[in-house]
A and B are shown apart, each in its own frame.
Chain A
Amino acid sequence: MGVLTGLLLTKMKNQLRSFVRSPGKLIVTVLAAGLLIFVVWAGGMARSEAPAVRDRAELAAIIKVFYMMIFIMIAYSGLSKGATFFSMADVNMLFPAPVSPVRILVYGLTQQLGTSVVIGVFILYQYATMHGQYAVTIGGMLLILLGYSLTIFTANIAAMTIYAATSVGASRRKVARPVFMGVCGLFILPSLIRIASALVNHEPMAASLVSAAGIVSLGLFPFAGWLAWGASRLMAGEMSGLLGLLGAGAGVTGLILFLNHAQPDYYEDVLQVTETAALQKQNQRDGRMPEATRKNVKLRERDGALGGMGARAFAYKQRLEDNRGRALLFSPMSWTLMAAMVLVSLFMRGLDEAEAGVITVLALGLYMQMLFSMFDRWVRELLLPYIYLTPEPPFRKLLACLSQVFRQQAIESALTWAICGVILRMHIVTIILMIALRMTFSLLLISTHLLVDRLWSHIIVKWLQVTLYFVMLFVMIAPGIALGVALMVNGVVIFSEAGTMFVAILAAELPIGIGVLYACRNLLENAEMNQA
């Protein structure tokens, strides 16, 4: 057995052992596996062999766009910082060792493939929806996972190749960006033209988007297009889909050969990004989250200045940081959320049941908000000592700390729902209700976070903390849903059935959120940060 194979196997063995040694890890893994089995069982129970509710072409379009977005984002990073499949231990111990760089590259790629599969496991949790809507089988889900993992894998190799090819000279770097954008544009342009034409001709948007995604040029998009095409074909039972996977395999081989020929000494190309990744990992371990912000932040007068005294100084500081952290009115994550909601609104515009569109957009917005909430500035504030040390009453500090989040989300949700409301032709009362729901959900997320911090901050296993967070969130949301169901069962209708549910959730969750926030008012007396 070669030294690198031995290293990989030992790492895998120790990884498995760590599950036995850490009960927290084991519990979370068992819970995650149990949840997956439940999702598959529940999805299968809800719907057995009936045909797909929605057009399978929609699914093919979603997969293609999803893979392409992932591929472009990762490959694009090759223009600035490259990619790495290595850890600092690899850099410090393997690179100086008398082992062939090609063998080390293969070792890195094998590691990367494993990581890609692990990252993609979340896809399997979508089984119930996929099976219910598109009649996707377990095999189909595994195919989507395989395609996703291979997309990440190939995108990383592409990023590394791009970096190796462009890092040698300033002139190459200068032209690389427009060339990259131009090549992507060539593949995407026909689809954009198709969408524009649908908008001009007032064609149904959902069908137009599916048709735009089906244009041949998108299927030809390197790696992501081939893999998406292959996965969709194989899911439909057509073995020709294997051609997509074979094409990706041939492409990867070509890139590796090119890499080996053009830049056999690739160590320098991966060094910087490996160091950065290691630093980020260390920061996370130390409880310091990196800023999700622009790379090059410049001081601008329009961003404002510090202000306020005492606890209010934190609110002003956060406003200044927020202004600096974004190029335009909102943060990149807010723009993503808004764009997704508006896009889905466009997609849902032609539906017969207008309410279904509103519910879908609301659900998407809340789901994304939940994912993004952990990057809110107030969470980062709790990781530095200043807020705890400042001689102000803890509740006042907490409210000051949260005020900027609420202010920002009020503006953002008002704007988003105003646009979505126009697209979906919503009544003004419904729009106001949606904004109120979004703000209440925000309060609920914050309260849940505070509650978990208050009760279980001593738990060191992060995964267990995350699990507790979701359990508590569910517990706090449940009364609102129960109230809504109770009202509907008793024949109470406020505007409509969905309206009754919305109002019930609002009525139940708002006092719960405020109550929990108040119960956690002394949270800032202790940090329990950076466990020793």
Chain B
Amino acid sequence: MDKEVIITYMLQVSNVTKRYGKTLANDAVSLNAEPGRITVMLGPNGAGKSTLIKCVAGLLRFEGEVIIGGYGNKTLEAKRALGYVPEMPAVYDLLTVREHLEFIRRAYRMPLDHGQDQARLERFELWEHKDKMGKELSKGMQQKVSILCALTHEPRLIIFDEPLVGLDPRAIKELKAWFGELRAAGCAMLISTHMIESVEGLWDTAHILMRGKLAATIEAADQASLMEKFFAITEGA
């Protein structure tokens, strides 16, 4: 049977524990992300959100298991299915904006498609800056390039670490619209943020992390105000 047919969860995080020396950053965290749904991960500073994201992206060693699209997150199949937008924009100083997208296509063995690249750059108002090098970009522009790089190879799971930080209002609006389109296309998304208002009205499932542990999971179907739930859980803890 085709593996994709039976996938319920695009991302399965099971009992992930991550230590930095004596510091326990993640303590047996388990959560899932489903195709066509937006899963958000909330928590105060130092809750372990970014560490968990890096574990999922395969950037850190950890105890436990992370399955992406039915494969362990370190496998090539899982990497092919994953897009990752880091907290700090990641661009190459000496590549132009357009070259970043071409490079990603090559690295992921995707056919070059300058038309699609142009459309995406235009959507983020980067087309006029297409020949600027990474080192010449403002932080906001670097963030846009970083997001586009994560989307270029059309991943089935995208994890965003504070994606809206540094973006201008128009780009924020555009990215939120993009979240909706990706959801409609069946893409699973995991968004980590501490800015709750930025994901109000977008989310389907919310996981709240506190001191490295999963404190609560809330469904949008519960008609809950995320802000109220968050404070009820974090301040009551």
Whether the Cβ atoms of A384 and B90 lie closer than 8 Å is: yes
The stretch that binds A, out of B9-17, B28-36, B51-59, B195-203, is B51-59
A76 to chain B, nearest CB (A): 22
A281 to chain B, nearest CB (A): 15
Given contacts A391-B79, A528-B59, contact A317 B20 (CB under 8 A): no
Whether the Cβ atoms of A391 and B60 lie closer than 8 Å is: no
Within 33-65 of B, Cβ neighbours of A (below 8 Å) are at 48, 50-51, 54, 57-61
Question: Would you give the 0/1 interface string for A311-323, flagging 1 where the beta carbon is closer than 8 Å to chain B?
Answer: 1011011001100
The residue of chain A having its C-beta at the shortest distance from the C-beta of B86 within the complex is A385
* Residues of chain B lying within 8 A (CB to CB) of residue A526: 58-61
Whether the Cβ atoms of A388 and B90 lie closer than 8 Å is: no
The residue of chain B having its C-beta at the shortest distance from the C-beta of A387 within the complex is B107
How long is the Cα–Cα vector from A249 to B42 in the complex, in angstroms?
A: 58
Whether the Cβ atoms of B59 and A320 lie closer than 8 Å is: no
Whether the Cβ atoms of B94 and A530 lie closer than 8 Å is: no
* Residues of chain A lying within 8 A (CB to CB) of residue B215: none
A529 to chain B, nearest CB (A): 6
- Taking a contact as CB atoms closer than 8 A, the residue among A316, A384, A390, A530 that contacts B92 in the complex is A384
B126 is an interface residue with CB less than 8 A from chain A: no
- Taking a contact as CB atoms closer than 8 A, the residue among B54, B102, B109, B133 that contacts A527 in the complex is B54
Whether the Cβ atoms of A324 and B107 lie closer than 8 Å is: no
* Residues of chain B lying within 8 A (CB to CB) of residue A313: 103, 106-107
How long is the Cα–Cα vector from A316 to B84 in the complex, in angstroms?
A: 23
Within 98-115 of A, Cβ neighbours of B (below 8 Å) are at none
* Residues of chain A lying within 8 A (CB to CB) of residue B96: 299
Whether the Cβ atoms of B20 and A391 lie closer than 8 Å is: no
* Residues of chain B lying within 8 A (CB to CB) of residue A316: 106
Size band of the interface chain A makes with B: 35 or more
* Residues of chain A lying within 8 A (CB to CB) of residue B59: 385, 388, 526-529
How long is the Cα–Cα vector from A351 to B6 in the complex, in angstroms?
A: 78
How long is the Cα–Cα vector from A317 to B94 in the complex, in angstroms?
A: 9
Given contacts A314-B107, A324-B94, A532-B50, contact A391 B88 (CB under 8 A): no
The residue of chain A having its C-beta at the shortest distance from the C-beta of B133 within the complex is A297
* Residues of chain A lying within 8 A (CB to CB) of residue B109: 309-310
Whether the Cβ atoms of B20 and A308 lie closer than 8 Å is: no
Whether the Cβ atoms of B58 and A525 lie closer than 8 Å is: yes
The stretch that binds B, out of A135-143, A285-293, A468-476, is A285-293
The residue of chain A having its C-beta at the shortest distance from the C-beta of B55 within the complex is A526
Whether the Cβ atoms of A525 and B76 lie closer than 8 Å is: no
- Taking a contact as CB atoms closer than 8 A, the residue among B50, B57, B135 that contacts A297 in the complex is B135
How long is the Cα–Cα vector from A388 to B74 in the complex, in angstroms?
A: 9
Whether the Cβ atoms of B88 and A393 lie closer than 8 Å is: no
B122 is an interface residue with CB less than 8 A from chain A: no
B183 is an interface residue with CB less than 8 A from chain A: no
How long is the Cα–Cα vector from A530 to B84 in the complex, in angstroms?
A: 15
How long is the Cα–Cα vector from A532 to B49 in the complex, in angstroms?
A: 10
How long is the Cα–Cα vector from A310 to B79 in the complex, in angstroms?
A: 13
A325 is an interface residue with CB less than 8 A from chain B: yes
How long is the Cα–Cα vector from A325 to B92 in the complex, in angstroms?
A: 12
Whether the Cβ atoms of A390 and B90 lie closer than 8 Å is: no
Given contacts A291-B135, A458-B20, contact A321 B95 (CB under 8 A): yes
A492 is an interface residue with CB less than 8 A from chain B: no
Within 129-158 of B, Cβ neighbours of A (below 8 Å) are at 131, 133, 135, 149
Whether the Cβ atoms of A532 and B51 lie closer than 8 Å is: yes
Given contacts A384-B92, A391-B77, contact A310 B107 (CB under 8 A): yes
Whether the Cβ atoms of A306 and B25 lie closer than 8 Å is: no
A272 to chain B, nearest CB (A): 16
Whether the Cβ atoms of B108 and A391 lie closer than 8 Å is: yes
How long is the Cα–Cα vector from A308 to B93 in the complex, in angstroms?
A: 20
How long is the Cα–Cα vector from A297 to B137 in the complex, in angstroms?
A: 13
B110 to chain A, nearest CB (A): 9
Given contacts A388-B58, A389-B58, A532-B20, contact A325 B79 (CB under 8 A): no
The residue of chain A having its C-beta at the shortest distance from the C-beta of B110 within the complex is A309
B99 is an interface residue with CB less than 8 A from chain A: yes
How long is the Cα–Cα vector from A320 to B103 in the complex, in angstroms?
A: 11
How long is the Cα–Cα vector from A288 to B95 in the complex, in angstroms?
A: 16
Given contacts A288-B88, A320-B95, contact A390 B20 (CB under 8 A): no
How long is the Cα–Cα vector from A258 to B107 in the complex, in angstroms?
A: 57
How long is the Cα–Cα vector from A532 to B51 in the complex, in angstroms?
A: 6
A392 is an interface residue with CB less than 8 A from chain B: yes
- Taking a contact as CB atoms closer than 8 A, the residue among B20, B57, B80, B104 that contacts A531 in the complex is B20
A495 is an interface residue with CB less than 8 A from chain B: no
* Residues of chain A lying within 8 A (CB to CB) of residue B58: 388-389, 525-526
A396 to chain B, nearest CB (A): 11
* Residues of chain B lying within 8 A (CB to CB) of residue A393: 76
* Residues of chain A lying within 8 A (CB to CB) of residue B61: 526, 528
B185 to chain A, nearest CB (A): 20
B21 is an interface residue with CB less than 8 A from chain A: yes
How long is the Cα–Cα vector from A391 to B20 in the complex, in angstroms?
A: 27
* Residues of chain A lying within 8 A (CB to CB) of residue B94: 291, 293, 297, 320-321, 324-325
* Residues of chain A lying within 8 A (CB to CB) of residue B88: 286, 288, 530
B209 to chain A, nearest CB (A): 12
The residue of chain B having its C-beta at the shortest distance from the C-beta of A381 within the complex is B92
Whether the Cβ atoms of B103 and A317 lie closer than 8 Å is: yes
* Residues of chain A lying within 8 A (CB to CB) of residue B86: 385
How long is the Cα–Cα vector from A168 to B103 in the complex, in angstroms?
A: 43
The residue of chain A having its C-beta at the shortest distance from the C-beta of B52 within the complex is A532
How long is the Cα–Cα vector from A238 to B186 in the complex, in angstroms?
A: 83
B182 is an interface residue with CB less than 8 A from chain A: no
How long is the Cα–Cα vector from A308 to B102 in the complex, in angstroms?
A: 11
Whether the Cβ atoms of A309 and B95 lie closer than 8 Å is: no
How long is the Cα–Cα vector from A166 to B11 in the complex, in angstroms?
A: 59
> 22 A–B contact pairs at CB < 8 A?
A288-B88, A291-B93, A291-B94, A293-B94, A297-B135, A306-B103, A306-B106, A308-B106, A310-B109, A313-B106, A313-B107, A317-B92, A321-B95, A384-B90, A384-B92, A385-B59, A385-B84, A389-B58, A392-B76, A526-B58, A529-B59, A530-B54
A residues sitting closer than 8 Å to B (CB atoms) are: 286, 288, 290-291, 293, 297, 299, 306-311, 313-314, 316-317, 320-321, 324-325, 384-386, 388-393, 458, 460, 525-532
List the 8 closest A-B pairs by CB distance, nearest first.
A313-B106, A391-B79, A527-B59, A321-B94, A391-B76, A391-B80, A291-B93, A532-B51
Given A290-B93, A530-B54, 4 more contacts at CB 8 Å?
A385-B86, A392-B107, A527-B54, A527-B59
